[in-house]
A and B are shown apart, each in its own frame.
Chain A
Amino acid sequence: MGPLSRDAWAQRLGAFRASPSAFMAGPEGEDLGRNLLGDLRSEKLSEQTKVSLLALSLEYPAQLWPDVSAAEVAATSLLDTLVLLPPRPSALRRPLLLAATTALAAGGALGPTSGASCRLLPLLLGLASGSDLGRGFVPASEQRPLQATACECLRELESCKPGLLGGSLGLLRGLLGQEGPVQPLSLLLALVLRNTLVLQSRVGAGLGGLLTDKVSPTGGGPWDWTLVEKGDGRLQPQAPSWPAAEEGEGERSLTAREHSPEEARELRAAVIQLLDTSYLLTPVAQAQLLWLLGWALRGLQGQPPALFKPQLVRLLGTAQMTLLHAVLALKAAFGEALFTAQDEALLLRRLTLAAQHPALPLPTHLFYLHCLLSFPENWPLGPEGEEAAPLLLGPQLCRGLLPSLLHDPMALLARLHLLCLLCAEDEEEEKGQLPSPRHYLEELLAGLRQQAALDEGPRALATVCFQASYLVTRCLAGQPIVLTPLIHGLAQLYRVRPMLASHFVDFLDQVDSELREPLKVVLQQEVVSRLGRDEALCWHLKMLAKVADGDAQSATLNFLQAAAAHCTNWDLQQGLLRVCRALLRAGVRGGLVDLLQVLARQLEDPDGRDHARLYYILLAHLAGPKLGVALGPSLAPPALASSLVAENQGFVAALMVQEAPALVRLSVGSHGVKGPLPVLKLQPEALEPIYSLELRFHVEGQLYAPLEAVHVPCLCPGRPARPLLLPLQPRCPAPARLDVHALYTTSTGLTCHAHLPPLFVNFADLFLPFPQPPGGAGLGFFEELWDSCLPEGAESRVWCSLGPQGLEGLVSRHLEPFVVVAQPPTSYYVAIHLPPNSKLLLRLEAALADGVPVALRTDDWAVLPLAGDYLRGLAAAL
């Protein structure tokens, strides 16, 4: 394929830059690196296009030449292209040098076995030293710029392979003294000096003659890699972060090594040489030089940090961020050895004024503020690594650095931090400072809340308000005098703008319990005090789901009951249910049951109803701890599945039923005779506290319809329990035996299953009265029933013994609800309805002192023996 046209390349480069990964994955990706190298030699492309190709290779060598061998090939090709350039000025030499350097360094090919490295290094060093490379290789007009470029390339290679140029120290120093370009040579020399010092001291050697040896290592022989090998190819931080440097192994060995007087003198001379000409460097380059030399000389014997002193006054006067930063680095490196207490105070003052100087931009102010709070003090007091106001930064110095509402959010927060630190100190010091920083802080927070409360305000205003509040709680924890007004201010903010609920929830999540608990209480009050329809209902529900707990139950439940009527859409219903869930978890029971039942019936949305029902069932069945587990955060990933599923997973996991002895006793109490069905009144009694009791009944012989289970939330020994009502649906009017099973949770959270002794339903337990006929019509009604029993039914007569209370006593104790006609004390007509549809009629007439004859009729002959037994039983019970 021939070379691409300029436009084709422009298009390709554009496509590549838009998304390098997508381009490389496409059809053109594979050949891009090779085509690029090839087209650099094409005569059809302009220099400008070739420069743009090289620019690409400077940024994306890893994509173009992804492995070491490809990088080596590319570097070789780039060097060949460079050599083949015609001997006239060209814009390609510089970028070709940069590209070859980048390909080798970034591609990991730089090393003694790399042919390209062995060609590039001597070439660069030759260019840097301005020596004649012959054959018109460098046109005169390009010599100077290429010399600088070669220095930059060497510096980059030295950065990636420390020690690479150790053997050239003397040469570089000599060049700096002669006529080389000051800045590139200074920076290169400083870097090589620093790396050599570290590497030599690691192996316990001094600089030896390295600083004075001016012989070029390229003097015909191969490149000297020994120093690189000593360093194991480990990178050297050029300007180490200072806490790391404290612990750095290299630094320790630096201090350990003592240089000979001669070495020390040469080293000092080299450093002075560099510092003296540093004024000629650009400010950013000066700063690099200071970082490099500062950390190179730190702790080195015979190298007084006072060498830096002549530079300091000049540097302190400038507004240049890199220069002031470099001074701070020197401060961190040398401390008191370079900065006396007065110097330290001056530096702090300069920093303080730079942090607020109206002529400087905001990012600069913010960085200097950070520097102030991380200031490397000579004698720091506080814990390391924490932001704190330096000791010498008193209230007087801070005055201009305090926040106001007119500041940009970041400046406000940074300055607020300082104000908080002042307030924290102020507490310990004497009062009487006017105005008190604390008072000012309160006013400021109130102002922020006022902004956050604005209806049309952007969210950023609210965010700043909460960030400021959080910062204050972090810095001034344990100061109720600050926190109390903060809590009330926030509650007021919620009252005005409930739509900030999400911020409140986040805030509650972040702050300590010292603030969280009281804030929750006031927020809960704030929400539940708003009964009735409210446009902010969704926010109230969100808030309540966070703050609702066992306290103020009734108010919360009242609020929810009132709110339920307005929860007309899915969102609101879910919000409501989330609050219920929070209450469940908080252990609220009474009242919540009713609410959940109502919700399970009333909510429009089926999902909502299902949720309510689930919560209701959980509440009815599970003890507190188990509820906690069932409702706790599910470990299952929150997929798209309904939350119901997630909850159910927790629920199932918690529910493992155990067989156990019965911890509950049941007895049958007096039976009720109201309603259309006979109801068995059961009296439960627990031997230990049990929860979520479910009683299941089974009727032997299918005499009755299957019985519904009965639920009891909780039973405790010694605490009277409400009787349980068990409605019976007889299929025939006969007594029966009930098998009973119990399922319950113990106080330890175990779910147990137990078999209880059977219960017996007596014949009399099935008795129901007939509806009372209107007054005076009783006799006629009874006679009608009496007559209707025959001929299908049966008739009998029984003698029933009477006790000392006579017939009156017997009737009032056993038959009172069923009496239709009464002529006390001698005569009673009794009509009993036996579900499902039988009747039993009794005439008790002409009682004697010891007994009464009973005439009985029924429409169901099977009842007759039961009735006979019943009456005889009454007699026997006397």
Chain B
Amino acid sequence: MAQRAVWLISHEPGTPLCGTVRFSRRYPTVEKRARVFNGASYVPIPEDGPFLKALLFELRLLDDDKDFVESRDSCSRINKTSIYGLLIGGEELWPVVAFLKNDIIYACVPLVEQTLSPRPPLISVSGVSQGFEFLFGIQDFLYSGQKNDSELNTKLSQLPDLLLQACPFGTLLDANLQNSLDNTNFASVTQPQKQPAWKTGTYKGKPQVSISITEKVKSMQYDKQGVADTWQVVGTVTCKCDLEGIMPNVTISLNLPTNGSPLQDILVHPCVTSLDSAILTSSSIDAMDDSAFSGPYKFPFTPPLESFNLCYYTSQVPVPPILGFYQMKEEEVQLRITINLKLHESVKNNFEFCEAHIPFYNRGPITHLEYKTSFGQLEVFREKSLLIWIIGQKFPKSMEISLSGTVTFGAKSHEKQPFDPICIGETAYLKLHFRILDYTLTGCYADQHSVQVFASGKPKISAYRKLISSDYYIWNSKAPAPVTYGSLLL
């Protein structure tokens, strides 16, 4: 259970190599074991240059997509996981765990403690999940609080020292690199016994607990016979516990109002010490009934020092917060669009912002627009072929607003206008972006009085809530639209 090497590569399309190795680290003692375990099927870790080239090729990140290349494009080379075999110097390096996020490619090669031919199933290779956690950990470190390139460079320059702490010999000790950083900084503090390895020090100061619930709502609305609209709420509960003592115990309860929607698919942070079986089994896979567990959802835990995600959940609310339809028709040279949006009466009508983005893909720039709207303003981004309907902070009393108009487009020039493989012809969508503060769609809240803290001093407890839209699509009901299997189950 170890890693042979790890790389961070920045993806730079348009440059000769299309990328640069920003960081790499090899583990020779693990490599030595790999040579013995893999036997005849052993393939050594290549130098950075060849690795970069092979990885970018495999991930289709080189700019030479023009021609069919069998070793990449063959129909039988099917990759169903983020784990690849890289052809380097005629040999195949496997397994390479790799993924691209924010223009950085994270990659590592886990040790496989047996021969590689035949390849063992990935599920049986312990280093694979460790490799993922390692890369996720680096990703979290690089992007937590990072705002610009120079901060990123600073963090990259800290990595060699951090890995000396978190992964000195290729076996990952802690995926939370921030812990290692704190560890280096507090190295002079003598740690007491039985300190959790994931908690590098102790807090000194005013006790306080902050709980914030963020719900994201996503939706696919079709306004069509035979296709069901779908929507789902995904919640994240983030905590920051500033409490004195080595292992303070905290229990947070999430509550629902009487008509609240039950929380499902609950995933908790590893610091949660025990879970009610009702929480463990409450799942969106099952058909809903009235007997579903509706809380309170209790989470006893010992908090780490930093802010962390106590749990994630999903929920199926009875109605989407905004129900809409979108009709778009091609009429000779122009498109006629009609949009209607209705805010559900149960939803708090007080937005931080609310916008409808109406993109037109695979067309030229907008040359002419005539429209009529019952509410809000329309912004036109001609070159991007995009309309943004700014609805603002409140829906009108009727809770219903509409927009209709005609749009004309100029000639298409491939570089500027957006391409989309799905929005062909009249297949089109509009996407809602909104945020409501101090509100959750499920009604879920953390009752300040039910938070139990077993530590010295009475902590100040603060709770926050917000609802954000995410992937909130309303499809043109006058054309085919991509459906999920769930939409067909009526």
Interface positions of A (Cβ within 8 A of B)? 17-21, 51-52, 55, 58-62, 89, 94-95, 98, 101-102, 105-106, 108, 140-145, 149, 152-153, 155-156, 159-160, 178-184, 235, 237-244, 277, 279-288, 291, 313-314, 316-326, 328-329, 332, 346, 349-350, 352-354, 357-364, 366-367, 369-371, 374-376, 385, 396-397, 399-400, 402, 404-406, 410, 413-414, 417, 434-435, 437, 440, 447, 450-451, 454, 456-461, 463, 466-467, 469-471, 502-503, 506-507, 510
Whether the Cβ atoms of A59 and B1 lie closer than 8 Å is no
Whether the Cβ atoms of B482 and A320 lie closer than 8 Å is no
- Min CB–CB distance B355 → chain A (angstroms): 21
Whether the Cβ atoms of A182 and B70 lie closer than 8 Å is no
A19 to B134, CA, bound (A): 25
Contacts of A145 in B (CB 8 A): 183, 187
Return the contact of A317 from the options B128, B236, B267 (Cβ within 8 A): B267
Whether the Cβ atoms of A366 and B80 lie closer than 8 Å is yes
Q: Which of B2, B36, B172, B265 has the most CB of A within 10 A?
A: B265
B291 CB–A CB distance under 8 Å: no
A406 to B77, CA, bound (A): 21
A153 to B169, CA, bound (A): 8
Q: Enumerate 24 A-B pairs (CB-CB under 8 Å) in ascending A order.
A: A18-B49, A19-B47, A106-B28, A159-B33, A243-B121, A277-B194, A282-B176, A313-B280, A318-B268, A319-B312, A322-B130, A363-B97, A366-B80, A367-B81, A367-B83, A370-B121, A399-B285, A400-B486, A414-B80, A457-B419, A459-B66, A463-B72, A503-B68, A506-B68
Whether the Cβ atoms of B277 and A155 lie closer than 8 Å is no
Closest to A413 in B: B80
Whether the Cβ atoms of A470 and B76 lie closer than 8 Å is yes
Supposing A402-B485, A417-B80, A451-B421 touch, asked if A155 and B121 sit within 8 A by C-beta, the answer is no
Closest to A320 in B: B270
A178 to B193, CA, bound (A): 8
Contacts of A328 in B (CB 8 A): 123
Return the contact of B48 from the options A17, A141, A241, A400 (Cβ within 8 A): A17
B294 CB–A CB distance under 8 Å: no
Question: B136-159 CB contact bits vs A (8 Å, 1 = yes)?
Answer: 100000000000000000000000
Return the contact of B28 from the options A60, A149, A243, A459 (Cβ within 8 A): A60
Supposing A145-B187, A241-B113, A366-B80 touch, asked if A21 and B47 sit within 8 A by C-beta, the answer is yes
Closest to A245 in B: B124
A305 to B319, CA, bound (A): 47
- Min CB–CB distance A502 → chain B (angstroms): 4
Question: B271-292 CB contact bits vs A (8 Å, 1 = yes)?
Answer: 0111101011101110000000
Return the contact of A364 from the options B48, B132, B279, B314 (Cβ within 8 A): B132
A501 to B142, CA, bound (A): 44
Whether the Cβ atoms of B25 and A59 lie closer than 8 Å is yes
A364 to B136, CA, bound (A): 10
Return the contact of A323 from the options B270, B362, B489 (Cβ within 8 A): B270
Supposing A237-B113, A371-B123 touch, asked if A353 and B172 sit within 8 A by C-beta, the answer is no
The 10 closest A-B pairs by CB, nearest first: A237-B113, A239-B126, A502-B68, A359-B312, A319-B267, A325-B129, A414-B80, A183-B197, A241-B124, A466-B75
Return the contact of B70 from the options A180, A363, A457, A506 (Cβ within 8 A): A506
Q: Which of B197, B266, B272, B484 has the most CB of A within 10 A?
A: B197
- Min CB–CB distance A272 → chain B (angstroms): 16
Return the contact of B270 from the options A286, A375, A454 (Cβ within 8 A): A286
Contacts of A363 in B (CB 8 A): 81-82, 97, 99, 132
A414 to B191, CA, bound (A): 47
Whether the Cβ atoms of B37 and A235 lie closer than 8 Å is yes
Contacts of A95 in B (CB 8 A): 164
Contacts of B486 in A (CB 8 A): 399-400
Whether the Cβ atoms of A400 and B75 lie closer than 8 Å is no
B405 CB–A CB distance under 8 Å: no
A108 to B28, CA, bound (A): 11
- Min CB–CB distance B475 → chain A (angstroms): 11
A160 to B486, CA, bound (A): 51
Contacts of A332 in B (CB 8 A): 124
- Min CB–CB distance B387 → chain A (angstroms): 22
Contacts of B279 in A (CB 8 A): 317
Whether the Cβ atoms of B187 and A142 lie closer than 8 Å is yes
Contacts of A396 in B (CB 8 A): 285
Whether the Cβ atoms of B129 and A241 lie closer than 8 Å is no
Contacts of A369 in B (CB 8 A): 80-81
Closest to B72 in A: A463
Supposing A17-B48, A503-B68 touch, asked if A314 and B190 sit within 8 A by C-beta, the answer is no
Return the contact of B269 from the options A178, A318, A414 (Cβ within 8 A): A318
B182 CB–A CB distance under 8 Å: no
A329 to B123, CA, bound (A): 8
Contacts of A510 in B (CB 8 A): 74-76
B13 CB–A CB distance under 8 Å: no
Whether the Cβ atoms of B136 and A361 lie closer than 8 Å is yes
Whether the Cβ atoms of A367 and B129 lie closer than 8 Å is yes
A144 to B232, CA, bound (A): 49
Contacts of A435 in B (CB 8 A): 485, 488-489
- Min CB–CB distance B385 → chain A (angstroms): 14
Closest to A450 in B: B424
Whether the Cβ atoms of B81 and A102 lie closer than 8 Å is no
A544 to B211, CA, bound (A): 66
B160 CB–A CB distance under 8 Å: yes
A19 to B266, CA, bound (A): 48
Whether the Cβ atoms of A469 and B75 lie closer than 8 Å is yes
Whether the Cβ atoms of B284 and A288 lie closer than 8 Å is no
Return the contact of A235 from the options B26, B28, B33, B82 (Cβ within 8 A): B33
- Min CB–CB distance A623 → chain B (angstroms): 34
Whether the Cβ atoms of A238 and B113 lie closer than 8 Å is yes
Return the contact of A353 from the options B81, B216, B284, B424 (Cβ within 8 A): B284
Whether the Cβ atoms of A55 and B129 lie closer than 8 Å is no
Q: Which of A61, A145, A367 has the most CB of B within 10 A?
A: A367
Whether the Cβ atoms of A237 and B37 lie closer than 8 Å is yes
A503 to B70, CA, bound (A): 9
- Min CB–CB distance A388 → chain B (angstroms): 12
Whether the Cβ atoms of B73 and A503 lie closer than 8 Å is yes
Closest to A462 in B: B73
Whether the Cβ atoms of A62 and B75 lie closer than 8 Å is no
Whether the Cβ atoms of A370 and B122 lie closer than 8 Å is yes
11 additional A-B pairs beyond A59-B28, A60-B28, beta carbons within 8 Å, are: A51-B161, A156-B29, A280-B195, A283-B133, A284-B172, A286-B270, A287-B129, A288-B1, A358-B232, A450-B424, A503-B68
A242 to B28, CA, bound (A): 25
Closest to A451 in B: B421
B347 CB–A CB distance under 8 Å: no
Supposing A321-B133, A358-B234 touch, asked if A456 and B419 sit within 8 A by C-beta, the answer is yes
Closest to B234 in A: A358
A141 to B179, CA, bound (A): 18
Whether the Cβ atoms of B187 and A366 lie closer than 8 Å is no
B60 CB–A CB distance under 8 Å: yes
Contacts of B422 in A (CB 8 A): 405-406, 451
- Min CB–CB distance A63 → chain B (angstroms): 9
Closest to A471 in B: B78
Contacts of B245 in A (CB 8 A): none
B410 CB–A CB distance under 8 Å: no
Supposing A317-B275, A322-B133, A467-B75 touch, asked if A159 and B29 sit within 8 A by C-beta, the answer is yes
